[in-house]
Structure 1
Amino acid sequence: MSDPIEKLTRLGDAMEGAPMPLPASEIRARGDRIRRRRHIVVAGASAAVVAAVAVPVVALTIGGGSDDKPELAPSPTISDPVATAPLTTENLLTGEDAVYPTGGMVDWVESDTYPGDGQAAFSPCAQQSLDGLGAEAVLRRDFEFVVTETNEVDGTNYLNEVIAEFPSAADAEAAYAEIKEWHVECLPPGADRYDAGDFAAVPVGVEGTAEVQLSTYRPVDESLDPTGDLGYFLETGLVLSGDRVAVLSQSIVGQDYNFEADRRPIVVMLPDAARQLVLGNGDGQPSEPGGTRLIPDDFPLAAGWPDSSQADGEGLEGPNRTLPSLEFSACDATFAEPDYLDRLLATWSGAEDYRVRQLTVYADAAAATTATDELVDFFRSCGTGPVRDDGYRTDYEVVPVDAGEQAWAVLQRDSFEGAETPFGSTTVVVRVGAAVMILDHGGHAGYPSGDGQAAIASIIDEAAEPITAMTALRQAADGPDLTNPAEVTTIPDGFPLGLAISEPPEEDGGTNVAGPGAEVAGVRAQTACGTPLAMPNAGSPDPEHELGYSVSDIEGYDGRTIRAYPTVEAALDEMASLRAAVQGCNRDDDGDGRSDRRWRTFSSDTGYDSVTFGYTYDGTDDVGAPAGQLYTVVRVGNAILAIEWAGEYSAELMADSASTQVQIARGIGAEMCVFTVDGC
């Protein structure tokens, strides 16, 4: 089956006699079978799994492989500027983009994210930390190899990413060269043979350099490989962009590794890793590119905490913008945080004493109020959590607190088989204007003597100085009035809505091209779990303020609509409604009677306020061709662009196509700066 998007973005030779575009449900009904996304296979929890399932690689040719470099197919790119915002966890690869593109038995799952290289070396070839190479900021994320059917973690395989920011581009380039040299001249601990592969360039779509290397070494521990037939396959990806470096390291135990050169896991992940290193992945990033620092660097976020010399542990870390943001979960759900403008964090830890302060500035007081209410309601809706495998259960109690303009505390108390325990934590949320501070205490600092009110009073008293200092952020966060009428509310003449990566498609006997034009339908109306998706579409046309464009043939549909809203606030509200509908829907039925639609979101690193999502049909009956629709929606100022691709999508093909759609959205988004007050 051909890629429907490739067909839409190249010139000519489409099939003749094409009918009008079919909806995804009809495309699905006429084909052969569902193709479900598969991620992997390999050395599992036992040597038997390793022996039974050959992990794609290149039969273990330790020492005897070809000297030819793999030829990686070039891909067209829209170059992005090197980032200037501070390095944060948003610049790390996400679990969604960490893939093992074959099979369906296992998957990479995020396990830990932390500042620094970590105590364990990020690669068996690493000779020192990136701090030791002169990095000013270092962050690391580890991933676990999980057997999807049982959720069992296979500890023999690993994936991690380390990113670093150096004082200058020259320093980063020198560090990059040294890291490469480590992987050329390497003998991992315990190995008696290491065969270094050649580094091959990988196109990544942002300014900079990216390369990948596949090396092998042995022996594997006898407990895993009693016959001596297995080896370690170490795939390493490097990215250099300006003053930043990223290192992806994946180690797999197996007998062979039969991926095509351009489908090897790190090769697939490297473009996403490069874009996120430069631009961030969009999770919690400012809604406008290069968001302004609204919190002063000298804000007294850690004031009131004991001196680090009193800590039987690490003591103070921060305040800075590189510590990982707080994540909250309850009743098997995770809190979905709204967009924000700026954030500062600090931690203080001892042996049994864990304290975190997170200060966040939102677009305005209303957005900060909403963020506070949503977090509190998230815990309130749980009340009592499920009994865990260890026999413990967490109860959540939300109580009002007298602090700031709005404040609540969440008391989290663990019980065991119905009996109270001394374990628990306390989270206090304080809002002042558009700023929200979260004070999270665990261990002895979170539940002193089992007295919740005493814990709250201690936390508020200790944080008196930073809470008072929040009032100074009000004026900085106010910014422009987003309710003012926008200056530009019509689409400029010649707007490049039909932008293509290569040559734009042309009308012929098999391809229908419409627009750009105010009367062209473009994106078609859609619902998710019964809720109409809030984005410019033909279901609610506004010809006076929008432009549409579409390309269709027998295999697919590319629809685009851009609309200018009367105010920035109106566009923000539309994006908030869209996100709420998408985030609240995992699976639905569009009424075709065949099977459910499975909705997913993807990395949407356009550099603007954007979301990328789509659905494929859930394969339950093995009847019909794969089908689905993929969307990217981008807001710049008071205008929103929506892109819809429909075609014969399997889950795997959709995941592969998402980055291409985002790339096109980024290119069109760069032409939308006319809808902002000060330009981009």
Structure 2
Amino acid sequence: MSDPIEDLENLKHEGLNVNPLPASEVRRRGTRMRRRNNAIAAVGALAVIAVVATPLAVVARGGDDASPGPVGTPSPSPTRTVDGAGWLQAIPGSSGDFDLTALPDDATFRYDVRPLPVVDDLTLCGVPTFSTRSNDPVAPAVDFLGATYSEPGTDGSAGRTLALYENDEVAAKVLDAVRHGVETCPTEQQGQGAPLVYAAVDTELPAEDSYVFTQQARMDKDLLADLTVFQVARVGNAVYLATDHTSAGGPQVVDAEVQRMATLSAPVLSDMCIFAAEPCRTPSGAESASAEAHPSIGEGAVSAIPADFPLDRDIASPEGDPLDGPSAKAQGVPPLDLCGRSVWPVDGVERLAVTATGPEYRESRELVTFSRSADVTAALDALRQAVKDCPEIPGDTSANDQLISLQEADLAAADDSVTFSMTYREGLGGGVYQFARVGRALVGTFNGGEWSTDTLPAGVEEISGKTEALLPELCVWTVEGC
């Protein structure tokens, strides 16, 4: 067992300031800054886009003076109605609207975004307390997103989940269910293991409602270890859950971790004002429920992925098994890390994916939309450059080295594209990746199986034919539209 005091003195993510403002000061400054922004929008002057309405983010990012954005005519922020109309039903992308991985500028680590909830399936004393799915004691989430981080070489880990609900009343009940679960489960027996103890923390986060509690293992009468701090915060119809785990425990460690987490979560909690009843701004990546149903076109406009978008066209499991998707939660193109550079998944506005599997076979397709052409261009350029910079990935033996090669592909309907293969130096296996851009949409394909150098040319031609047939459907994200 490590020394708790020593662990406290060497808390992970060192070097990060942990001095958030009191909640009362957060609310006072937030009100002042929102009024300032609304006044500027009302007269059609410069849009203040660099600062949002929670000064914890100002403290973390260094400064109280917002730099004016480009000249324009901002749309007035909508007010959500009592019956729920207008509540966002999808989480906007991270291109300036909402970023679940956001951290203060001086943070020494970064979260990885996940299209699945990371903090989920919370059960206390055998009673389901929180889940984004249908087994939640209140209601399932209408959309969710996760982010995770693990401290290399230690037991330290952290996770975040943002869950959206039908309206603010449902979200409030979800938070109350967590509060009730902790209150009714002060101690949870773990068979032969050390019992877990739960306790609320007397602190307040800059949100409409919040609840912070801890889970620790009671090693003996006077020793607590394996601390996990839980943050739960609600703004409008959005609920944010964050956890942070360290092997130490006890009151001193709790105080330090709670304060540190408040600082780390400040940028995310600040940006959650877009989910409020009176949002700080209208996110470019989300349409209100009262918006017109027809898609918008042009740079900066974001059209929702149509419900009948044929992403599964020409995709089938070899043995007739059902597909995973198409849906926003389905598996898509596998995460791609090339020589230490993570290039997939990418952050966009919306995502749709579908996957077919079979023995020694996988075919996945994923559509990601963006609000700006520059964002999708940057994502594709990063993929192409990563492939060029990583011609091979060493294996445990030279025969298992993975060779990465750009492939020629005929995709005349694409604005830009990149196709490459990953095969083994010897033997069969690997896959073909293809990414094609049309307007502000990027469609990716992965075909994994028993590939070899000899089968690649014909395989790439077949994959390209399927992609080419789908590309005209992406016209909704072009300047001209369909």
- Give the alignment's TM-score, normalised by structure 1: 0.47
* Corresponding position: 1:453 with 2:406: no
Q: Which amino acid aligns with 2:270?
A: R
Deviation at 1:175, TM superposition (A): 0.9
Output the CA distance in 2 between the equivalents of 1:109 and 1:53.
Answer: 25
Query: Which residue is equivalent to 1:303?
Result: 313
Q: Secondary structure at the match of 2:389?
A: coil
Give the counterpart of 2:403 among 395, 398, 403.
Answer: 395
Counterpart check, 1:274 vs 2:276: no
Partner residue of 1:129?
131
Q: 2:145·2:162 contact (CA, 8 Å) conserved in 1?
A: yes
Cα deviation code 1:258-282 (max 9, x no counterpart): 25569623222332232344559xx
- Residue 504 (structure 1) aligns with: none
How far apart are residue 310 of structure 1 and its match?
3.3
Q: Take 2:117 and 2:257, find their aligned partners in 1: how far apart are those partners?
A: 31
- Which amino acid in the other structure matches residue 213 of structure 1? F
Superimposed CA distance per residue, residues 364-415 of structure 1 (whole angstroms, 9 cap, x where no aligned partner): 5xx4894476246414532513525676433322233222144544323243
Tell me the residue number matched to 1:234. 228
- Partner of residue 138 from structure 1, selected from 118, 141, 144: 144
Q: Using the alignment, how far apart are the partners of 1:239 and 1:293 within structure 2? A: 28
> What amino acid sits opposite 1:113 in the alignment?
R
> What is the CA-CA distance between 1:88 and the residue it aligns to?
5.2
1:166 counterpart residue number: 165
Shift, 1:97, TM fit: 5.2
Which residue does the alignment assign to 1:348? 355
Give the whole-Å Cα distance in 1 for the aligned partners of 2:318 and 2:209: 40
1:474-518 deviation per Cα after TM superposition (whole angstroms, max 9, x unaligned)? 35569xxxxxxxxxxxxxxxxxxxxxxxxxxxxxxxxxxxxxxxx
Match of 1:468 among 465, 468, 472: 472
- 1:56–1:258 Cα contact (<8 Å) kept: no
Matching residue within 364, 385, 402 for 2:392:
385
Matched, 1:424 2:469: no
**Distance in 2 between residues matched to 1:244 and 1:96, nearest whole Å:** 19
- Establish whether residue 440 from structure 1 lines up as the match of residue 445 from structure 2: yes
For the residue of structure 1 that corresponds to 2:394, the secondary structure is coil
Q: C-alpha distance in 2, partners of 1:372/1:111?
A: 16
Measure how far apart 1:441 and its partner are.
Answer: 0.9
Query: One-letter code of the match for 2:218?
Result: R
Could you list the per-position Cα deviations for residues 443-496 of structure 1 after superposition, in whole angstroms to 9, with x for gaps in the alignment?
32x847862223223323334553231235435569xxxxxxxxxxxxxxxxxx
Partner secondary structure for residue 180 of structure 2: helix
CA displacement 1:271-321 (0-9 Å, x = unmatched): 2232344559xxxx9878976432542332232222799348xx3234439
Structure 2 counterparts to residues 58-457 of structure 1, below 5 A: 74-75=25-26, 76-77=29-30, 78-79=33-34, 80=53, 84=88, 86-87=90-91, 90=94, 91=98, 93-94=100-101, 96=103, 110=111, 113-116=114-117, 121=121, 127-131=129-133, 132-133=135-136, 134=139, 135-146=141-152, 152=153, 154=154, 156-186=155-185, 187-188=187-188, 190=190, 191-192=194-195, 194-203=197-206, 208-219=208-219, 229-256=223-250, 258=252, 260=255, 264-279=259-274, 292-298=301-307, 299-306=309-316, 310-311=320-321, 315-320=323-328, 328-335=336-343, 342-350=349-357, 352-361=361-370, 363=372, 367=374, 370-371=377-378, 374-375=381-382, 377-382=384-389, 384-387=391-394, 392-403=400-411, 404-406=413-415, 408-415=417-424, 419-432=425-438, 434-444=439-449, 447=451, 451-457=455-461
Q: State the alpha-carbon separation in 1 of the partners of residues 121 and 105 from structure 2.
A: 20
Q: Deviations over 1:39-66 (max 9, x none)?
A: xxxxxxxx4x556723269xxxxxxxxx
Given that residues 88 and 324 in structure 1 are in contact (C-alpha distance below 8 angstroms), is that contact kept between their aligned partners in structure 2? no
> The residue matched to 1:461 in structure 2 has which SS?
helix
Paired with 1:251 and 1:275, the residues of 2 have a C-alpha distance of: 23
Q: Which position in structure 1 is the counterpart of 2:49?
A: none
* Corresponding pairs, count: 382
- Asked whether the equivalents of residues 368 and 431 of structure 1 are also in contact (C-alpha less than 8 Å), the reply is no
Q: Is the CA contact 1:372–1:431 (under 8 Å) kept in the aligned structure 2?
A: no
State the match for 1:17 in structure 2.
Answer: none
Where 2:200 maps in the other structure, the secondary structure is coil
Deviation at 1:194, TM superposition (A): 1.9
Distance (Å, rounded) in 2 between the aligned partners of 1:109 and 1:363:
24
Counterpart CA distance in 1 for 2:303 and 2:391 is 37
Q: What is the distance in 2 between the residues matched to 1:369 and 1:248?
A: 29
* 1:6-65 per-position Cα deviation (integer Å, ceiling 9, x unaligned): xxxxxxxxxxxxxxxxxxxxxxxxxxxxxxxxxxxxxxxxx4x556723269xxxxxxxx
Change in CA separation of 1:466 and 1:343 when aligned onto 2, cut-off 3 Å:
farther
Q: Distance in 2 between matches of 1:214 and 1:380?
A: 44
Offset from partner CA, 1:650-676 (integer Å, 9 cap, x none): xxxxxxxxxxxxxxxxxxxxxxxxxxx
Structure whose alpha-carbon radius of gyration is higher: 1
Aligned counterparts, 1:523-562, within 5 A: none
2:312 alignment partner, SS class: coil
Structure with more contact order per residue of length (Cα contacts < 8 Å, sep ≥ 6) = 1
1:185 Cα offset (Å): 2.1
CA drift at 1:353: 1.4
Name the CA shift for 1:359/1:95 in 2 (closer, same or farther; >3 Å).
closer
Give the counterpart letter for 2:365 in structure 1: V
Q: Distance in 2 between matches of 1:287 and 1:455?
A: 39
**Deviation digits for residues 89-119 of structure 1 (CA, Å, limit 9, x no counterpart):** 74563274599x9xxxxx766467232468x
Distance change >3 Å, CA 307–CA 394, structure 1 → 2: closer
Question: C-alpha distance in 2, partners of 1:162/1:428?
Answer: 30
Q: TM-score, normalised by structure 2?
A: 0.64
The separation in 2 between residues aligned to 1:372 and 1:217, in whole angstroms, is: 44
SS at match of 1:467: helix
Identify which range, 406-415 or 420-429, moves more after superposition: 406-415
Gap runs ≥5 in structure 2: 11-21, 35-52, 54-76, 81-86, 276-281, 288-299
* Contact 2:205–2:233 under 8 Å retained in 1: no
What SS does the aligned partner of 1:54 have? helix
Match of 1:641 in 2: none
CA contact (8 A) 1:197 1:215 kept: no
Change in Cα spacing, 1:422 to 1:241, as seen in structure 2 (3 Å) is: same
Q: Any idea what the Cα deviations from partners look like across 1:135-184, whole Å, max 9, x if unmatched?
A: 222333332132xxxxx2x3x44322222111111111111110121222
Distance of aligned partners of 1:318 and 1:430 in 2 relative to their CA distance in 1, 3 Å threshold: same
Partner of 2:57: none
Please provide the CA RMSD for this pair.
4.5
Equivalents in 1 of 2:229, 2:394: separation in Å?
40
Other-structure match for 2:65: none
Identical-pair percentage = 11
C-alpha distance in structure 1 between counterparts of 2:174 and 2:401, whole Å: 47
Contact preservation (8 Å) 1:87, 1:322? no
In the other structure, the counterpart of 1:66 is none
